[in-house]
């Protein structure tokens, strides 16, 4: 009698588990069946937001459910990321991750793990960065900027907003052998305004931010801060070409919470690969100074890991202490 009861109990447990698994599989196969949030760790208008709205519009049309952009700026992206990692891993909350997240482990003690607490889905765009000076500054090349700075060792400043420009700006100063003081800003537009006003010596920022001022002649781009030249400014040499192995390029991609089910990852990436990558919506990012990208989940994961390691090495070389 007891054996029969035990068998009946086990049968009920197995049936319940099978129902849960079946229900989970059904939910994943029907994904999405309601609206999806794409959290953005910056305010409206920047490269992260532009990329998020581009992909949200595309996925809304392709998958038949609203993909809604939700801006959560603050603390260089830590506000959004800290909130995001607490969300259910059901695919209904995604994050538009910016390259600045890869710098934060080098600067802060974080309440989350950048390598383990996010599930990479797809890289969507990259943002070439430029080393800029005011066009009134009497320098027309990187070599001339270095000579100018060495003649004025106590007068050189650079502006930054967020992680990559901060470490790239300081890293360039150290490689070039110049004494440059970093000046923090809450927004890249503020730093750009100070450079235009002549109160900064140089600035490293993304091409989309500086495009209009460079084309208008207010600012002068001396180098693309990376391995390659910027598509929007093919005449400007890269730092690697000029002998400085420093890559401050930005990138933007879609990620899910930790352990996002693989069927959802596959559906989102396949949809983007087949209907977004290389198509008109993604190509439109070029008008904003960005460049399209198409890393798959494994490539994107490797990119994040490489960037985290690289920035930690640079920060250690600069003697930067992590903040809590």
Question: CATH number of 129-224: 3.40.190.10, 2.60.40.10, 3.30.70.20, 3.40.50.300?
Answer: 3.40.190.10
Continuous segment of H or E residues that includes residue 305: helix 297-318
List the one residue out of 131, 130, 128 whose CA is nearest residue 249. Answer: 128
Specify the DSSP class assigned to residue 108: B
Q: What's the pLDDT at 23?
A: 47
Q: What's the pLDDT at 25?
A: 56
| CATH number 1.10.20.10 given to 35-127+249-318 | no
Q: What's the pLDDT at 26?
A: 46
Q: Where are the domains of the chain?
A: 35-127+249-318, 129-224
pLDDT digit string (tens) for 225-254?
999 999 889 999 999 999 999 998 889 999
Distance CA 125, CA 29 (A): 28
Phi, then psi, of 204 in degrees rounded to 5: -110, 120
- The CB density around residue 2, as the number of other CB atoms within 10 Å, is 6
Q: Are 227 and 243 in contact (CB under 8 A)?
A: no
Equal fold, 35-127+249-318 vs 129-224: yes
Residue ranges of the chain with per-residue pLDDT less than 70? 1-28, 162
pLDDT digit string (tens) for 48-60?
898 999 999 999 9
Distance CA 225, CA 146 (A): 15
């Amino acid at each position: 009698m007891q054996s029969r009861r035990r068998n009946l109990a086990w049968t009920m447990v197995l049936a319940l588990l099978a129902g849960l698994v079946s229900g989970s599989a059904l939910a994943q196969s029907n994904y999405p069946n309601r609206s999806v949030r794409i959290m953005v760790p910056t305010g409206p208008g920047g490269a992260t937001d532009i990329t998020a709205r581009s992909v949200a519009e595309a996925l809304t049309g392709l998958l038949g459910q609203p993909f809604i952009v939700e801006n959560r700026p603050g603390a260089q992206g830590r506000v959004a990321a800290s909130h995001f990692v607490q969300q259910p891993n059901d695919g209904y909350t995604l994050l538009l991750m910016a390259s600045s997240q890869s710098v934060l482990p080098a600067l802060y003690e974080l309440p989350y793990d950048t390598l383990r607490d996010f599930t990479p889905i797809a890289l969507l765009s990259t943002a070439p960065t430029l080393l800029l000076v005011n066009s009134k500054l009497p320098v027309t090349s990187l070599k001339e900027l270095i000579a100018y700075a060495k003649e004025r060792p106590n007068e050189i400043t650079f502006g930054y907003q967020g992680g990559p420009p901060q470490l790239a700006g300081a890293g360039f100063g150290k490689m070039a052998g110049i004494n440059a003081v970093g000046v923090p800003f809450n927004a890249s537009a503020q730093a750009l305004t100070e450079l235009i006003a002549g109160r900064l010596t140089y600035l490293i920022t993304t091409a989309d931010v500086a495009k209009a001022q460079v084309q208008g002649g207010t600012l002068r781009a001396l180098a693309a801060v990376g391995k390659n030249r910027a598509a929007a400014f093919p005449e400007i040499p890269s730092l690697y070409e000029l002998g400085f192995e420093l890559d401050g390029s930005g990138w933007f991609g879609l990620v899910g919470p930790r352990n996002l089910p693989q069927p959802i990852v596959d559906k989102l990436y396949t949809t983007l690969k087949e209907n977004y990558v290389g198509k008109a919506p993604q190509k439109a990012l070029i008008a904003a100074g960005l460049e399209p990208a198409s890393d798959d989940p494994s490539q994107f994961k490797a990119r994040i890991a490489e960037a985290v390691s690289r920035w930690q090495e640079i920060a250690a070389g600069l003697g930067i202490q992590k903040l809590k």
